[in-house]
Structure 1
Amino acid sequence: MQKDQLPTRRRMLLAGAAALGAAGAAGAAGALLAGGVGEAARTTADPVAGPQARQALKPSAFRLQPLTGYGPPRAAPRKLKVRKEPFVRISGHGRRMMLTFDDGPNPNYTPHILDTLAKYHVRAMFFVCGECVVENRELLARMADEGHVVGNHTWTHPLLTTLGRREIRSEMERTSDVIEDTYGERPQWFRAPYGAWNRAAFELGAQMGMEPMAWTVDTTDWTVPGTDTIVEQVVQGAAPGVVVLSHDAGGDRSQSVRAIREYLPYLLDSGYHLTVPPRRM
């Protein structure tokens, strides 16, 4: 598998800030010596799916604050088509699959899952709950640094079909806000807790610029069925386009941590390309 060295949006922000600082210094010196002004080179990156190499710098919320504080004004989310059903598969050619993890981040389990993904240079999706992000911002920053896609999974993980429209909006909007405040970008994907969708969730998600994502294969790790059962669910369900549901929080997820160490190398050896969706399906 070929490593993807493409930077994330956050790395681009960091690189841009460094380049602007260097350009400013060069311009000042040039004005004194020869009247020349330096111009910072800009780099662009195509945010397509693919494996991602580990970030050398250790993420910290402190380093992120100036970026979010001095960035451009928040743009309104792009209006999307209101869907009636969520995506359950990913598009593309070849033996492509996607791993997703819900309910985190959690300091007891999420770091181990991230370590395994980094070991095999694989990117995944993490659907996070806002109340967990508040206590574990450094883990969300690490997800972004290492090229994973962060999605919205509401603030408190409620059953949306029992809430009013205003409550649903609050659950979704607060989570998007804390994600943006942590690493500078609003999520583009949303997953309803328990897979319970309704019209309001689809409409509000579209208004906030998010596409709905469900899953194809449920590992049933939320029932704590045993590591072997989780591995078996993934292996038997593996197929092109499959989206796998697992959890990195919401209970004892030690079985999920052990399971990914077994099924991930198996999938790669079987010729599957573990990826994330493009910015827009």
Structure 2
Amino acid sequence: MLSDRQITSRRLLLVAAGMSLLGMAGCGRAEEVVRAARAAGPPGPDAVPDSPSATASPSAAQSAAPTAAAPAAAVTPSAAPTPTAAAPTAPASAAPTPARAPAVGDGRPVYELNAERRVVALTIDDGPDPRHTPTVLALLEQYGIRATFFLIGENAVEHAGLVREIAARGHHIANHTWTHPDLRSLSEGRVRDELERTSDLLHRTTGKVPTWFRAPGGDWSSTALRVSAELGMRPMAWSVDPRDWARPGTGVITDRILKDVRPGAIVLNHDGGGDRSQTVAALKAYLPVLIDSGYHFTAPPG
């Protein structure tokens, strides 16, 4: 049986072995472990034979063992905020330029008549003119044709006698503004003045209130359509334009009309605004051709 000294010596050997494991714990820490082993005294009869693992408690070993540098915690990048999908922006709308004037007031301009009937509406613009209007009136009288005359106010005020003659022969008297401006560039006040002034003059001259209105150049605007409706007029456009105002030649004017005319057509001609001798000559040429083809002429009702 081992003596107390032998037991103590054995413990010291085990402690020394443990100290090699404690290395970096330092001498002070090692001496504390030795003193603790001596104070413990001889083991009891049930003691398990000493072993390095049994001598030092796990907590002591963990405390004494050098602490390895803990790996840096992995940085989880914050999830980038999911961008909120922007609501789709409706395209601007620009406006597309319509082929026909917008419906305002009483509606869109009339471009043609009922195509089920073989009729043509002849319209004469920019008069009255003392050089050409009398000849045009004579031709219409010759063929028994009723037309619509879109008169300019400043011409009508100078040739009031012609205005009365046009009305007396049963033709429609219609409003073509006072000075023949581009209505799209005018304020509402000026548009109203152009139309109202002309209608008042024609009413005083003929005793009849104009029921039709045509924008110069066919340049309609929503303002002009609204004002004309407020003044009791409907807008009339055209479907056959021989561009006689440009004086392309009598034959060209005649050919364009005969090529483009069809049942329900509204034909545009001019008796004012310059030399209209080509237009007068073209009327003499194409009117009998259309009549022989079975066309009838009419003035749209007011």
TM-score (norm 1): 0.69
> Closer, same or farther in 2 for the Cα pair 1:84/1:93, shift >3 Å?
closer
1:232 aligns to what?
255
Verify: 1:244 aligned to 2:254, yes or no: no
Alignment of 1:57-136 (within 5 A): 82-83=105-106, 85-91=108-114, 93-136=116-159
Alignment of 1:187-266 (within 5 A): 187-266=210-289
Verify: 1:163 aligned to 2:186, yes or no: yes
2:71 aligns to what?
none
Of 121, 144, 148, the residue aligned with 2:167 is 144
The one-letter code sitting in structure 1 at the alignment partner of 2:218 is G
Whole-Å separation in 2 of the counterparts to 1:242 and 1:256: 18
The one-letter code sitting in structure 2 at the alignment partner of 1:190 is F
Q: Counterpart of 1:100 in 2: which secondary structure? A: strand
Q: Counterpart of 1:271 in 2: which secondary structure? A: coil
- Matched residues, percent identical? 47
Whole-Å separation in 2 of the counterparts to 1:223 and 1:151: 23
Larger radius of gyration: 2
Whole-Å separation in 2 of the counterparts to 1:278 and 1:213: 11
2:209 aligns to what?
186
Deviation at 1:94, TM superposition (A): 1.9
Whole-Å separation in 2 of the counterparts to 1:139 and 1:187: 16
Q: Which has the higher contact order (CA 8 A, sep 6+)?
A: 1
Whole-Å separation in 1 of the counterparts to 2:197 and 2:115: 32
Of 265, 268, 271, the residue aligned with 2:291 is 268
Deviation at 1:93, TM superposition (A): 3.8
Whole-Å separation in 2 of the counterparts to 1:150 and 1:219: 22
Whole-Å separation in 1 of the counterparts to 2:117 and 2:188: 40
Whole-Å separation in 1 of the counterparts to 2:105 and 2:202: 23
Deviations 1:242-278 (A, max 9, x none): 0001100111100001110110011101000011112
Deviations 1:150-203 (A, max 9, x none): 110000000001110000000000000110010101100000001101111010
2:36 aligns to what?
none
Q: Counterpart of 1:218 in 2: which secondary structure? A: coil
2:5 aligns to what?
none
What is the total number of aligned residue pairs between the two structures?
200
| Stretches (4+) displaced over 6 A | none
Whole-Å separation in 2 of the counterparts to 1:82 and 1:253: 34
Deviation at 1:83, TM superposition (A): 4.3
- Contact 1:84–1:199 at 8 Å: present in 2 too? no
The one-letter code sitting in structure 1 at the alignment partner of 2:231 is M
Unaligned runs of 5+ in 2: 1-103
Task: Indicate the RMSD between aligned Cα atoms, in angstroms.
Answer: 1.4
- Contact 1:227–1:255 at 8 Å: present in 2 too? yes
1:153 aligns to what?
176
The one-letter code sitting in structure 1 at the alignment partner of 2:200 is D
Unaligned runs of 5+ in 1: 1-80
TM-score (norm 2): 0.65
Task: Point out the more displaced range, 196-205 or 88-97.
Answer: 88-97
Whole-Å separation in 1 of the counterparts to 2:117 and 2:212: 23
> Closer, same or farther in 2 for the Cα pair 1:265/1:212, shift >3 Å?
same
- Contact 1:106–1:249 at 8 Å: present in 2 too? yes
